[in-house]
């Protein structure tokens, strides 16, 4: 554990403040080339795969729509049905994982508060549920742990060193969407206050 000021794992990256469901457990140092560990829930990773498939098929749906609007409309309805199933699965997992917690998130890592200290340099298997819904799971390295003297809780920073390209792409997309949402909300607030 380290009690001095936090070095920022997010330095040089866009970062957002969000509320996300997460859980973690201690794990061994990942072997070279190992990017993930077995899931506690085999359904967890399916959320990310569903989202990637949806994203990868968007250009095909546009091409189909240019040729056959009825078929494109039907495929969109099927996509919405699959999305609803994913959301139902995410709701069930949120119940299992607990209430969402305040986090700072970037493509490089995550900061969150917890009531237990963690050793800097140790590894945890992190499961993170983004609201889209997307499930991300990978071993992450604890890069900092500082105790907040006012609350008694520990601010933990972890690094996403073991995230694969698909996970980074999903995370990046969530960050961009959240930033766009915050910009739209700020513009709406400006319009209503004037």
Residues 124-152: pLDDT tens digits?
A: 999 888 877 788 888 999 999 999 889 89
Cα distances from 169 to residues 40, 94, 106, in angstroms, run: 23, 22, 12
Q: Are 167 and 138 in contact (CB under 8 A)?
A: yes
How confident is the model at residue 85, as a pLDDT? 84
Quick check: 99 pLDDT over 90? Answer: no
Q: Are 20 and 101 in contact (CB under 8 A)?
A: yes
Quick check: 37 pLDDT over 70? Answer: no
Q: Per the domain annotation, does 114 fall within a domain?
A: yes
Total structural domains within the chain: 1
Cα separation, 97 vs 14, in Å, equals 26
Higher pLDDT, 118 or 138: 118
Q: Per the domain annotation, does 21 fall within a domain?
A: yes
What's the pLDDT band for 1 if we cut at 50, 70, 90? very low
Q: Each residue of 17-28: pLDDT tens digit?
A: 999 989 899 988
Mean per-residue pLDDT for 105-111? 93
Residue 4's closest CA among 110, 149, 108? 149
How confident is the model at residue 70, as a pLDDT? 94
Quick check: 3 pLDDT over 70? Answer: no
What's the pLDDT band for 7 if we cut at 50, 70, 90? low
Cα distances from 95 to residues 50, 88, 92, 100, 160, in angstroms, run: 20, 11, 5, 10, 25
Q: Per the domain annotation, does 61 fall within a domain?
A: yes
Q: Per the domain annotation, does 84 fall within a domain?
A: yes
CA terminus-to-terminus distance, the chain? 49
Q: Per the domain annotation, does 173 fall within a domain?
A: yes
Quick check: 42 pLDDT over 70? Answer: no
What's the pLDDT band for 194 if we cut at 50, 70, 90? low
Q: Per the domain annotation, does 182 fall within a domain?
A: yes
Q: Considering only 61-70, 72-81, 84-93, 169-178, which range has the smallest mean pLDDT?
A: 84-93
Domain containing residue 112: 15-26+42-188
Q: Per the domain annotation, does 6 fall within a domain?
A: no
Checking phi first, is residue 152 left (phi over 0); if not, alpha (psi -120 to 50) or beta?
Answer: left
How confident is the model at residue 80, as a pLDDT? 87
């Amino acid at each position: 554990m380290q009690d001095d000021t936090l070095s920022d794992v997010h330095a040089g990256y866009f970062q957002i403040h969000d509320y996300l469901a997460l859980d973690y457990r201690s794990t061994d140092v990942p072997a070279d080339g190992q990017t993930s560990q077995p899931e506690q829930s085999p359904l967890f990773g399916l959320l990310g795969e569903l989202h990637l498939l949806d994203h990868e098929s968007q250009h095909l749906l546009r091409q189909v729509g240019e040729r056959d609007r009825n078929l494109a409309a039907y495929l969109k309805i099927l996509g919405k049905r699959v999305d609803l199933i994913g959301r139902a699965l995410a709701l069930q997992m949120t119940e299992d994982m607990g209430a969402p917690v305040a986090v700072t998130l970037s493509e490089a890592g995550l900061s969150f508060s917890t009531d237990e200290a963690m050793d800097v340099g140790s590894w945890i298997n992190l499961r993170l549920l983004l609201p889209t819904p997307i499930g991300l799971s990978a071993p992450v390295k604890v890069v900092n742990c500082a105790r907040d003297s006012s609350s008694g809780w520990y601010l933990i920073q972890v690094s996403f060193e073991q995230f694969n390209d698909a996970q980074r792409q999903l995370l990046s997309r969530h960050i961009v969407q959240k930033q766009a949402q915050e910009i739209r909300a700020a513009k709406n607030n400006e319009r209503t206050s004037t």
